[in-house]
C-alpha cells in the first residue's frame, strides 16, 4: 500500500492531483485545512493493517504498551477508517459546494477554509454579514466544515446571554411589549401557568392594558378564572398608575400590553410607573421569528433607545427559515430569555439555556426547496465521481 499527502489551494485542485498521480482507485484517508489551503492523505492498494503509518502517534503508543492481538487491531483500524472516510466524504461534499459557489474574483485559499465554510453555510441560512462577523469568533473549536447545534448554542450563549428570565423565581413585574400579533398575550398566559404550578395563585396578578383590541381582556380573564388568579383590566390611556399599587400587593405581576401605537414610548411610561412601587421590572420585547428582518431590527432599535429589554422569540414553528431573525438578534445584542414553538400552554415556552439550543437548532434548518434538493443530489454525484 502506498500512502501520499497532497496539499493544494483548494479541494478541487487536490482531488485533481490525486487522480492524476494515483488513479481513480485511490482512497482518501483524511482531509484537513492547512495554511494556504487543504491537505489530503490518500492511499493506493489500501490495506487497513497499515493504518498506523497514517497515525504514527498511535504506533508509538502501541509499541510502548506491547503488541496487541492482530485481529482485534485490524477490526479497530477498519472501524476507524470507515468513520474517518464517512466524515471525509461529508466534508468534501461541503467544500465542493463552497468552492462551486465562491464569488468570482475571490482567490482560493485566502480565507481560513473552515471559517469560509461556516460563512457560506450561515449566509445560505439567512444570516447577515454583520451577524456572521460577530458570531464566528465565539464559535468554539470544532471539527469538520459544517456548523452544528452545539457550537452555535455556545456562541449564542456568549452573545445573547445564558440565563433564564431574571426574577421569575423571586418575583417582580413582567410586561410583554412589542408589535401586535406576535404572541404577547399567549406568552403572559404561559408564564402565568408556570408560576401557578410553582407558587400560590394568591401571589400572582394578571393585568391587561390592551383596551384597543376586541376581546383582548377576555383572553386573560378566561385564564384568570381557570387558575383562580385575579385579572385587572386597565385603560392604558388613563389608569396605568394602578399597576404600581398592584405590584405592592402581589409578588408576581404579569402585564399584557397593547401592540398598536408607539409601543416603545408605552414601555418607557410603564417603567416609570413601576419604579414608584420599588419593584423590579422585566420588559419582555416579544418578537415573531417569521417577521421581516428589517422590521425586527427597527423594533429592537426603537425599544433599545428607551430601555434594555429582554427578547422573547415566538412563532418558531411558523418560521420556514429562522436564520434571518436569529442574525438580527445577534446584531442587536439583546439578551434572549425565552423562545416559543407553538400555542400550547405552558409546554411550548422554553426558558434560559434551553431556549438558546432551540433557537440554534431552528436557525440551522435550511429552507426545503426543490432547487436545494437538486443541488444536494448534484454535489453528492460529484463527490462520488471524484472519489471513484
pLDDT surpassing 70 at residue 329: yes
C-alpha cell at 196: 401557578
Strands, E assignment, the chain = 2-8, 27-34, 37-44, 172-177, 204-208, 231-233, 252-256, 281-288, 310-314, 336-340, 349-351
Residue 223 Rama label (left phi>0; alpha psi -120 to 50; beta): alpha
How large is the average pLDDT for residues 303-318?
Answer: 83
Q: Give the best-scoring range by mean pLDDT among 33-42, 64-73, 157-166, 293-302.
A: 293-302
The pLDDT tens digits of the residues spanning 350-372 come to 887 888 889 999 988 887 653 44
Residue 279, Cβ density class (10 Å: 0-12 exposed, 13-18 middle, ≥19 buried): buried
- Helices in 276-369 by DSSP H: which ranges? 293-306, 323-332, 352-363
pLDDT band at 257 (very low <50, low <70, confident <90, very high): confident
How large is the average pLDDT for residues 80-104?
Answer: 61
| pTM: predicted TM-score of the whole model, two decimal places | 0.66
pLDDT band at 328 (very low <50, low <70, confident <90, very high): very high
Residue bearing the bigger pLDDT, 131 or 18: 131
How large is the average pLDDT for residues 192-198?
Answer: 87
Residue 387, Cβ density class (10 Å: 0-12 exposed, 13-18 middle, ≥19 buried): middle
Residue 147, Cβ density class (10 Å: 0-12 exposed, 13-18 middle, ≥19 buried): buried
Residue 176, Cβ density class (10 Å: 0-12 exposed, 13-18 middle, ≥19 buried): buried
Which pLDDT value is given to residue 295? 92
Q: Report the alpha-carbon distance of residue 256 to residue 207 in Å, rounded.
A: 6
Q: What is the residue-averaged pLDDT of the chain?
A: 76
Q: Report the alpha-carbon distance of residue 283 to residue 279 in Å, rounded.
A: 13
Read off the DSSP letter of residue 50. G
Weakest-pLDDT range from 96-105, 256-265, 312-321: 96-105
Percent of the chain with pLDDT over 90: 6
Read off the DSSP letter of residue 344. -
Distances (CA, A) of 265 to 244, 295, 336: 18, 17, 21
The pLDDT tens digits of the residues spanning 15-52 come to 888 788 877 777 777 777 787 777 877 777 655 554 55
Contact 154, 98 (CB under 8 A): no
What does the angle CA 266 – CA 353 – CA 310 come to, to the nearest 5 degrees? Answer: 10
Q: Report the alpha-carbon distance of residue 71 to residue 81 in Å, rounded.
A: 15
pLDDT surpassing 70 at residue 106: no
Residue bearing the bigger pLDDT, 342 or 321: 321
C-alpha cell at 201: 395563585
Q: Report the alpha-carbon distance of residue 287 to residue 64 in Å, rounded.
A: 60
Read off the DSSP letter of residue 388. -
| Measured torsion, CA atoms of residues 135, 300, 284, 163, in degrees rounded to the nearest 10 | 20
Q: Give the best-scoring range by mean pLDDT among 2-11, 323-332, 379-388.
A: 323-332
Q: Report the alpha-carbon distance of residue 211 to residue 271 in Å, rounded.
A: 19
Q: Report the alpha-carbon distance of residue 220 to residue 230 in Å, rounded.
A: 10
Q: Give the best-scoring range by mean pLDDT among 32-36, 62-66, 191-195, 375-379.
A: 191-195
Amino acid at each position: 500500500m502506498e500512502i501520499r499527502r497532497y496539499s493544494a489551494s483548494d479541494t478541487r485542485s487536490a482531488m485533481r492531483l490525486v487522480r492524476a498521480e494515483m488513479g481513480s482507485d485511490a482512497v482518501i484517508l483524511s482531509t484537513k485545512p492547512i495554511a494556504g489551503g487543504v491537505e489530503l492523505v490518500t492511499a493506493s492498494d489500501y490495506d487497513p493493517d497499515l493504518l498506523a503509518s497514517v497515525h504514527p502517534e498511535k504506533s508509538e503508543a502501541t509499541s510502548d504498551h506491547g503488541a496487541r492481538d492482530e485481529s482485534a487491531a485490524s477490526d479497530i483500524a477498519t472501524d476507524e477508517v470507515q468513520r474517518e472516510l464517512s466524515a471525509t466524504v461529508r466534508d468534501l461534499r461541503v467544500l465542493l459546494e463552497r468552492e462551486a459557489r465562491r464569488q468570482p474574483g475571490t482567490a482560493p485559499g485566502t480565507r481560513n477554509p473552515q471559517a469560509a465554510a461556516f460563512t457560506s453555510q450561515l449566509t445560505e441560512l439567512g444570516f447577515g454579514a454583520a451577524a456572521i462577523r460577530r458570531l464566528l469568533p465565539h464559535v468554539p473549536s470544532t471539527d469538520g466544515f459544517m456548523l452544528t447545534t452545539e457550537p452555535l448554542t455556545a456562541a449564542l450563549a456568549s452573545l445573547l446571554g445564558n440565563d433564564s428570565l431574571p426574577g421569575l423565581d423571586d418575583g417582580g413585574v413582567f410586561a410583554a411589549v412589542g408589535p401586535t400579533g406576535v404572541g404577547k398575550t399567549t406568552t403572559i398566559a404561559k408564564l402565568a401557568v408556570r408560576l401557578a404550578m410553582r407558587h400560590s395563585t394568591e401571589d400572582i396578578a394578571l393585568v391587561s392594558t390592551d383596551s384597543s383590541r376586541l376581546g383582548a381582556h377576555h383572553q386573560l380573564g378566561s385564564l384568570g378564572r381557570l387558575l383562580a388568579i385575579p385579572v385587572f383590566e386597565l385603560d392604558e390611556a388613563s389608569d396605568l398608575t394602578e399597576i404600581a399599587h398592584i405590584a405592592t400587593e402581589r409578588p408576581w405581576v404579569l402585564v399584557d400590553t397593547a401592540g398598536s401605537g408607539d409601543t416603545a414610548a408605552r414601555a418607557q411610561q410603564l417603567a416609570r410607573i413601576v419604579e414608584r412601587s420599588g419593584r423590579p421590572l422585566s420588559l419582555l420585547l416579544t418578537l415573531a421569528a417569521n417577521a421581516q428582518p428589517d422590521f425586527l431590527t427597527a423594533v429592537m432599535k426603537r425599544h433599545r433607545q428607551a430601555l434594555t429589554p429582554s427578547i422573547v422569540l415566538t412563532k418558531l414553528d411558523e418560521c420556514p427559515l429562522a436564520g434571518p431573525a436569529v442574525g438580527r438578534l445577534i446584531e442587536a445584542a439583546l439578551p434572549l430569555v425565552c423562545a416559543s414553538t407553538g400555542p400550547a400552554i405552558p409546554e411550548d415556552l422554553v426558558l434560559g439555556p434551553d431556549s438558546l439550543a432551540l433557537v440554534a437548532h431552528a436557525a440551522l434548518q435550511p429552507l426545503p426547496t426543490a432547487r436545494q434538493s437538486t443541488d444536494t443530489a448534484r454535489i453528492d454525484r460529484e463527490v462520488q465521481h471524484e472519489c471513484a
